[in-house]
Structure 1
Amino acid sequence: MLLQSFATVACLVASAAAHATFQQLWINGVDAGSSCVRTPASNSPVTDVLNNDIACNANAASSAGICNVQPGDSVTVEMHQQPGDRSCGSEAIGGNHFGPVILSMAKVADASTAVGSSASWFKVHQMGLVSNNPQYFGSQVLNNNCGHYTFTVPSGLAPGNYLLRAEVIALHSASGVNGAQFYMSCFQINVGGSGSTVPSGYSLPGAYSNTDPGILINIYQSLSTYVVPGPTSIYGTTALPIATTAYPTTATWNTALQPTTVPTAVPTPGQPGIGTA
């Protein structure tokens, strides 16, 4: 009864908290700002996994910019609650919005015009339940790092345009069908190099069901494991095992160097960066 009451209170508090969007991008520590993001029309979540909005969010207009990356580059997505915000003084996604972080890519003919719901996606990184003692999710690691989450562009990818999809699935009210909240943005990138691999992919909508074990779940119980939604295969890396000891909460992003302004121009390749998270 006490656990159920706690869950109810937590959900009420969460519902009153601000939502969030992925808004900015970094390439090898260089701030690309909003130059190549398809910014969603609002910071509200998508809740219907069968809707086309599950791919790149609702009413997210294509960007004029396409950011250039190379295989092996360190790419960081950045999330905050309010449009244009870059403050580290508040959580990137607040209100006990605990859940996984998932990064996916899709090769497309033209990143500026591609339709996310028609693309073939493949995972390149994910962080679900990182520790079960105590329970600690990828979204909490994101919050520790001022909304920053970094991955390495996989080697071997065929060059060309891609959509990069960054997603947090908030599970604070996911104990009922359609209770999970999906926060995602798509970034428009061009991958260089001389690779030849185009990984087999999945469709969005299509990859998620509203009754998947990682989507319909009560996280206010003791969890020993957690199944990250979508395919289990991750191109270029493997998922970390769930730790049975406390996950470190120390930030790896240097918050002292966090900018307050948001660049809108695609950065020139080769600029020196400030670091990664």
Structure 2
Amino acid sequence: MKSALATLFTASLIASTAAHGWIGEITIGGKVFSGNKPTQLQPSANPSVVRQIVDNQPVKDVTSAELTCGRSAQPAALVATAKPGDEVLVDWKTANANGLWFHDVGPMMTYMASCGSESCADFDASKAKWFKISEQGQDASGAWAQAKLDTGSPAKVTLPSNLKAGNYLLRHEIIALHTAMTAGNAEFYPNCVQLKVTGSGTGVPASSELVSLPGAYKAQDKGILLDVYNMNGAYQFPGPPVAAFVSGGSAPKDDAPTSSSKAAATPSSTVKATPASSSKAVAEPSTPIANPGAKPTASSTSTSEPKSTSTPSSSTPKTCRGKRSRSRRAPADVVEHPDVPVSVVPDTRRSRVRAHRALMPRRESF
């Protein structure tokens, strides 16, 4: 009996670990860029515009420096060129056999931060001042936008249509709330992408709309500490509201309260990647090239073809649950767990649910 329980616990732990993810691919204005697996799974990174994280574990401490761009995130070698109004498709990957995202309750939010005159490939993200451009929660049926990732759909974000030209970090964040009933158990998954925005836009956030990450969240925030399966009223997003200029409005005065707004969708356009260096004007190549001053990386780059771009939550608390693969795309390559063969990971929904139930704390009878 003890042996069976130990096996079940181990399998559940592996499945839960495999369910955590990273940005495996991002499409910006129709141009596809591949990300790298975490360093523990892929020690030699390919040139990318996505900052590589060290592993796929969540950040749980809202005061941790890892909340900025992910666990031990390192600057990437490349920078993607984008235009105001470009559609951005963020494709999250996991170490599950089907490669799909696993969690389905909690918000997704997108921030941007100016790197100033410095290329974002050389920028220290700990110094960034972030403004929010998007927040996605529940639809009218109560289903979370995050749940669509389970089916293989990417998260969709639109760059502000009047965004001022410059160097920017784009930070996409998923917050999984399935165990957020107690403080310190919400799971944060941030990942950052390096951009150079062109055009003649003039839109900028007010200083009152800028925040530090970490710094913008508190462990007791209503959108972080809650029983997501028994909410009273609408979900309250943590952090600042969406910057006013994103929806075409005027930036608020710095001494006036800000209001939340959503980015308006605009047609996407194809973009070209530029070298990471920004010290002088150069011709823009049609494919990304490595920054001469960036940390050396492998010479080969993984490529992929461009691709086209919910379920109501349960009334009772639950932990991570498996889903059948409903991806409209071919399944991703299997990513092996660094210590245990992927074959150990339960492949059926029933086995995963049983495994996760084994991790749930038992309630004492009184």
Which TM-score band applies after superposition, normalised by the shorter structure? 0.7 to 0.9
> Is the 1:29–1:275 contact (alpha carbons within 8 Å) kept by the matching residues of 2?
no
1:36 corresponds to: 49
Match of 1:101 among 100, 108, 111: 108
Q: What's the CA shift for 1:150?
A: 1.7
> Does the 8 A contact of 2:113 with 2:169 survive in 1?
yes
Tell me the secondary structure at the aligned position of residue 149 of structure 2.
helix
Other-structure match for 2:308: 275
Q: What amino acid maps onto 2:90 in structure 1?
A: V
Correspondence 1:236 to 2:246: yes
* Higher RCO (C-alpha under 8 Å, 6+ residues apart): 1
Q: State which of 190, 200, 206 in structure 2 corresponds to 1:194.
A: 200
Identity score, percent: 34
TM-score (norm 1): 0.75
Question: Which residue number corresponds to residue 246 of structure 1?
Answer: none
Query: In structure 2, the residue corresponding to 1:161 is in which secondary structure?
Result: strand
1:90: how far off?
5.0
- 1:174 shift after superposition: 0.4
Higher strand share: 1
**TM value normalised by structure 2:** 0.58
| TM-superposed deviation, 1:194 | 1.2
2:190 equivalent in structure 1? 184
What is the aligned counterpart of 2:155 among 149, 173, 177?
149
Deviations 1:65-84 (A, max 9, x none): 000000121111110113xx
From the superposition, tell whether residues 28 and 81 of structure 1 become closer, same or farther in structure 2 (CA, over 3 Å).
same
For 1:239 and 1:154, the matched residues in 2 are separated by: 10
Matched, 1:22 2:23: yes
- The question of whether the paired residues in 2 share the 8 Å contact of 1:162 and 1:188 is answered with yes
Please say if residues 104 and 144 of structure 2, whose CA atoms lie closer than 8 Å, have aligned partners that are also in contact: no
| In 2, Cα distance between equivalents of 1:107 and 1:16 | 33
> 1:188 and 1:66, CA in 2 relative to 1: closer, same or farther beyond 3 A?
same
- Residues 246 and 262 of structure 2 are in contact (CA less than 8 Å); yes or no, is this contact kept in structure 1? no
Gaps of 5+ in 2: 1-11, 36-47, 248-260, 264-274, 277-284, 288-304, 310-327, 329-366
Looking at structure 2, the residues matched to 175 and 78 of structure 1 have their Cα atoms a distance apart, in angstroms, of 28
> Which of 127, 131, 138 in structure 2 is aligned with 1:122?
131
Tell me how far 1:63 sits from its aligned partner: 0.6
Q: 1:60 to 1:210 in 2, by over 3 A?
A: same
The whole-number CA distance in structure 1 between the counterparts of 2:16 and 2:34 is 28
State the 1:187 CA deviation: 0.3
- Whether the aligned pair in 1 keeps the contact of 2:104 and 2:150 (CA below 8 Å) is no
Whole-Å separation in 1 of the counterparts to 2:222 and 2:49: 33
Over the aligned positions, Cα root-mean-square deviation in angstroms equals 2.7
Q: Distance in 2 between matches of 1:115 and 1:214?
A: 28
Structure 1, unaligned stretches of length 5 or more?
A: 1-11, 241-264
After superposition, give the CA deviation of every residue in 1:11-41 in whole Å (9 maximum; x if it has no partner).
Answer: x898466211123210223211122000111
Say whether 1:225 aligns with 2:204: no
Q: Per the alignment, in what secondary structure is the counterpart of residue 57 of structure 1?
A: coil
Residue pair 1:76, 1:148 contacting (<8 A) in 2 also: yes
Task: Report the CA distance between 1:273 and its aligned residue.
Answer: 5.3
In 2, Cα distance between equivalents of 1:26 and 1:232: 25
- What is the identity, as a one-letter code, of the residue corresponding to 2:54? A
> Is contact 2:22-2:191 (8 Å) kept?
yes
Indicate conservation of the 8 Å contact 2:23/2:93, yes or no. Answer: yes
After superposition, the C-alpha distances for 1:150-190 in whole angstroms (9 at most, x for unaligned) are: 22211222211100001100001001111100001000010
Report the counterpart of residue 221 of structure 2 in structure 1.
212
- What is the distance in 2 between the residues matched to 1:99 and 1:47? 14
Cα distance, 1:15–1:223 mapped onto 2, change above 3 Å: farther
Q: Match of 1:275, as an amino acid?
A: S
Q: Give the structure 2 partner of residue 166 of structure 1.
A: 172
- 1:254 alignment partner in structure 2: none
Give aligned pairs, total.
231
Higher CA-based Rg: 2
